[in-house]
Every structure is written in C-alpha cells, then in structure tokens.
Amino acid sequence: MTDELLVVRAQLGERAALAELLARWQVPVWTYVRRMLDADRADDVSQEIWLAVVRGLPRLRDPERFAPWLFTIARRSVTDRLRGEYSQAEERSGAADAAVEDPAEAMVDRAALVSVLSDLPVLEREILVLFYLEDLPVEECAYICRIPAGTVKSRLNRARRLLRDHLEEKGYRP
Amino acid sequence: MTDEPRLSAQDMIERLSPALSPRTRIRAVTALLAGAAGAVFVGALWWTEPGPLPGRTHLAFALFTAFCLAWAAYGGWLLTRRVPLFATDRVIAAWIGLAASLATTAVLTVVAAQRGTGVGPVLAVGGGFVAVALVLVVRAQARRAALLRRRRELSGAQPGRTS
C-alpha cells in the first residue's frame, strides 16, 4: 500500500492506517534524529515529532508529499534543539553555498558515513543523512531544508569532502 | 552507540493515545459548545432585561458572560491546536455544532417571546451561529467526500486490494 493511500485513510480517521504509517516511518525518523542528536534526546524528540505529525495530519493538503512534510517537522524539532549550532553554521556557510559544483554522484559507504557523521558540522551532517541515509531526492532535501536545489548539491559536495577527510584521518582508505 | 529506537512503534502509538482519545475530543467539544451557548444565552438575557439594572447586576452578567467565553475559547483552542480532528470527526463535530446552534436559537427565541422582548435580535444572533455552523457542515462533508474519492482511486490502482 502506498504512503499516499495510508495518509488518506489516516486523514479519514482510520486508526489502523495511522498505526501503519507510524510503523513504516518510525525508524527513518528516529535515524534522522539520532544522527543529528545524541542518544539521550533521540527518543524524546522522536515522540515530539510524532505528536506534531498526528496533530498536523488532518491539515496536510498533499498526501502524496508525506515524506518531505514529515521530515520538515522532524527538522524543525531538531533545529529547535541545535539552534546555536545552526545559526553559527549558517553564518559560516553563506559564501560557500553560492557556488554550485557538479554533484558527482560518488558512492558513500553507509557504515563509514555513520561512523564519522557525528564529527561533521550540522548543515553537512543533515544533508548527508537526508540524502544518503533517508534516500531522499535532491528536490525533497531542498524542500525540507528550505534551500535551493543547487545549494543542496554544493552542500553535498562539501559534505563528501569533509567526510573523506575525516575518514582518512581515522585511517579508512577510500 | 545505540542504533535502535528504544520505543517500538506500538509504544509510540500508546504514548500518542492521549492526543487521539475520544475523551479529549468530547471534553473539547463540550467546553466549546457549552461555553458558546452559555455566552449567547447570558448575553441575550442581559441585553433583553427590561428596565434599568443596578451596577452590581451588570457586573454579574459581564462576569458570567466572560466565564462562558473563556470556556468556549478553551474548547476552541483544544480542538484547533491540541486534538487532531480527522475528516470523519470534523463531519460529526460540524453536525453537533449545527444542532447546538439550532437548539440555542430555539430556546432563546422562546424565552424572548415569553418575556415579550423583541425576538429580532435573538434571531439575528442565532441565525449567524446557524449560518456559520452550516458552512462548517458543508466544508467538512466536502473534504470527507474528496478524501473518500481519493481513497477509492488509490485503492482501485492496486488490484486485489480492498480497504
């Protein structure tokens, strides 16, 4: 069953559809939150996100765009927790984001990614999680982070570079 | 590093159940309806009271109206911000609103007629409530119909699947 059908059924008031939607998306949401925050806060923030999802679901106008909407809510909860880090990162990234480089779809090894993710700055960490761990397309990452698609690509490029540097420091050979 | 959520999907649903429980909805609807009906009723009594009233009576009427409005506002806040009202809930809520508006208008009209004060203002206020309630019923029905149609289309696209 597609997400859209589940969302429509949940919007009609079917509890079973809501439960199935939650079962389907709980781990992806948690993964995003856990990669952005520490383990202690991940469960509380996940719960907060799901509460906001349940409260907002009746007003969701485009059921087929459930995933980007869900991650927008998740991102809002995470940015609330990391407000300081985000404002610093955004100040710093202004100039660097302007240049759109070739995205060069380099493969990133998930296990290696997870192992160094927590060392990366928030903006780069966020874009890697959304693109590689959640498998969201560039357009949806752009919608969730409220930045142009070109910025997503340049941010991904920079994130991959940082990732490579960190992995090399740790002794991984790409 | 723990790489599993500590809460299962089932635990999460249980934690969300206060927001989804019928009891919260009933409380919200009751507060909104009783508050709005009470405010209109007390307001109408105050307005149609024959003869000049002492200052203390004015104060009492004002306080009672404010009290009812506060309950209505609390109910409205619960319904719009705290309790998710899904399409079917909205249809039910809209019909309850319409019934309550009609009942309040009818009671007020009877009271106004018995007291010999003009029923015009009462009918105007009551009519306003009924009109708003009617619009909400139509909107809620249309939204639910659109969702049901979409569900049929999507279910139809998946052969062998009925829902």
Pair B144, B88: CB distance under 8 Å: yes
The token pair at B81 is: 């911000």
Q: What local confidence, expressed as pLDDT, does residue A97 receive?
A: 53
The span from the CA of B46 to the CA of B58, in Å, is 8
More confident call, B62 vs A94 = B62
Sign of CA dihedral B85, A2, B7, A122: negative
| Confidence check: pLDDT of B163 > 50 | no
Same domain, A133 and A155: yes
The region, left, alpha or beta by phi > 0 then psi within -120 to 50, assigned to residue A104 is left
Q: Chain B residue with minimal CA distance to A39?
A: B2
Mean pLDDT per 10-residue segment, chain A (174 residues)? 92 92 92 87 90 92 92 92 77 57 56 79 91 90 92 91 84 64
Those residues of chain B whose CB sits closer than 8 Å to some CB in chain A are 1-3, 5-7, 9, 12-13, 15-16, 19-20, 81-90, 144, 147-148, 150-151, 154-155, 158, 161, 163
* CATH code of the domain containing A165: 1.10.10.10
Give the N- to C-terminal CA distance of chain B in Å, as an integer.
Answer: 41
CB contact under 8 A, A54 and B16: yes
The pLDDT tens digits of the residues spanning B3-56 come to 778 888 888 888 888 888 888 888 898 999 899 989 988 988 887 777 788 888
Cα B139 → chain centroid: 14
DSSP annotation string for A46-102: HHHHHHHHHHHGGG-S-GGGHHHHHHHHHHHHHHHHTHHHHHHHHHHHHHHHHS---
Would you kindly state where each structural domain of chain B is located, as residue ranges? 20-156
Contact residues for B67 (Cβ-Cβ < 8 A; gap 6+): B38
Expressed as residue numbers, the domain containing A36 is 3-81
**Counting one residue from A and one from B, how many pairs have CB atoms under 8 Å apart?**
84
ipTM of the complex: 0.76
| Confidence check: pLDDT of B145 > 90 | yes
Pair B93, B139: CB distance under 8 Å: no
Residue at A174 is within a domain = no
Pair A74, A49: CB distance under 8 Å: yes
Same domain, A72 and A100: no
Sign of CA dihedral A165, A169, A170, B2: negative
Domain total for chain A?
2
* CATH code of the domain containing A10: 1.10.1740.10
